[in-house]
Amino acid sequence: MEESQDSLFDQAMARYQSGTDANELIKDFKTITAGAPNQSSGWTCLAWLQLLCGDSSSALRSARTAVKLNAQDPQARINLSLALLETNSKGVREHIEFVKRAILVLPEFEKELKISIKDGLERKPDWQTLIKVKDWLGF
């Protein structure tokens, strides 16, 4: 079962990277997270897609799950920060500070996050909370 979940994840990621609309991929990532509920990357991707689609409350639940499963993942922390901002919830600062520290320790995270932010702004150009987070990170 785990192998088929990995394959489904890889296929869904390939579709996303080829430009498939986020709305079309949410169902795939819901299937992925249902089949592998302890796989943080599935939850991280689902939260990102939900944010892109404007479903902030669902994104908040997905992002919290992703961070709970892998508190060391800067992208999961970015997604949680975005969802917190978009739902007017507290706790954003601790996640932004974590990401800043993670970038200092492992600079390759910065490149990955810049790519992700660029992608987010290409897909959703007027994404004000993402612009705010980008500015806070100094990108």
- The string of pLDDT tens digits covering residues 86-101 is 999 999 999 999 999 9
What long-range pairs does 67-70 form, CB within 8 A, spacing at least 24?
A: 67/95, 69/38, 69/39, 69/40, 69/43, 70/40, 70/41, 70/44
pLDDT score for 6: 67
- Residue 82, sorted as left (phi over 0), alpha (psi -120 to 50) or beta, turns out to be alpha
Q: With 60 as the cut, is the pLDDT of residue 33 above it? A: yes
The two tokens of residue 110 are 């910065």
Question: pTM of this prediction?
Answer: 0.92
pLDDT score for 1: 43
Domains along the chain with CATH numbers: 2-137 (1.25.40.10)
